[in-house]
Amino acid sequence: MAVELYLDLFSQPCRSVFMFAKKNNIPFEFKKVSLMDGEHYGDDFGKISIIRKVPALRDGDFCLSESIAIMVYLAEKFQTPDFWYPADLQQRARVNEYLSWQHTAIRMQGSKMFWLRLMIPKMIGMEVPKEKMDGALEDLNNSLNLIEEKFLQDRPFIVGDRMSLADLVAIVEIMQPLGAGLDVFDGRPRLSSWRDRVRTFIGEELFDEAHQNILGAQEGLKQIDPSKLELFKPKILRLFL
């Protein structure tokens, strides 16, 4: 039985897992969980993950959540090339350092920007106070600055010459605000060339396939019934506003 991956490519961590599995030719069954339709709250998905988040993995009886745990599991199980999660003590520590830092930094801020700029005004129909928007943009820029100054510096990739899970997890978060029309690469040539290297390394077709939904979000939303978001409204507002 193939590994099942429960994914929605609107979600950044789902994109990392998707690209990782595909790039490494790991056989898996793509199980779509439509977040917009609230499928993560359904009974079926609840059996896979009580946390009710994507991505999730099912390998026989074994169910696992959290994209980083999933990718490290797949890397070990399918013996992917060392560079993804190097065995070397210091290199692995550098990957772990980025993977840990990013949760409360770029992940939070990229998500927030997407919701504040697009989802809340267009789908929930609420105006976002300028102060909140400016604050969110400042936080996002501070994280991007740290990525450039601490994690990337003058290296081709976060850990060195080769791509690793750190770059894979970083890129999907940095791409998220683009879905809301905010070009975070503008005025950041170092980040732009890193993005190009990452896209080439993963494979342009795979990278673009993974990002199709999010980059088409502004258009795609026009087809979605806003009432679908009523369920999430209180949670979203508390989280981001």
Residue 50 Cβ vs another protein, minimum distance, rounded to whole Å = 5
Paired with 4 in beta bridges are: 29, 58
Q: Which is nearer to another protein, 25 or 79 (CB)?
A: 79
For helices 12-23 and 204-215, give the axis angle rounded to 10 degrees. 160
Q: Which is nearer to another protein, 104 or 212 (CB)?
A: 104
Residue 236 Cβ vs another protein, minimum distance, rounded to whole Å = 14
Residue 209 Cβ vs another protein, minimum distance, rounded to whole Å = 25
201, 105, 89: which is closest to 149 by C-alpha? 105
Q: Which is nearer to another protein, 65 or 164 (CB)?
A: 65
Q: Which is nearer to another protein, 61 or 161 (CB)?
A: 61
Chain mean position to CA 147: 16
Question: CA 153, 16, 12, 50: dihedral to nearest 10 degrees?
Answer: -130
Binding site for another protein (CB under 8 A): 50-51, 62, 64-70, 72-73, 76-77, 89-90, 92-94, 96-97, 99-101, 103-104, 107-108, 135, 146, 149-150, 238
Residue 34 Cβ vs another protein, minimum distance, rounded to whole Å = 22
Residue 8 backbone dihedrals phi, psi, to 5 degrees: -135, 120
Q: Which is nearer to another protein, 9 or 64 (CB)?
A: 64
H helices then E strands: how many in the chain? 11, 4
Residue 193 Cβ vs another protein, minimum distance, rounded to whole Å = 22
Sheet of 28-32: strand order equals 28-32, 3-7, 56-59, 62-65
Residue 25 Cβ vs another protein, minimum distance, rounded to whole Å = 19
Chain mean position to CA 210: 10
Paired with 58 in beta bridges are: 4, 63
77, 69, 74: which is closest to 49 by C-alpha? 69
Q: Which is nearer to another protein, 131 or 161 (CB)?
A: 131
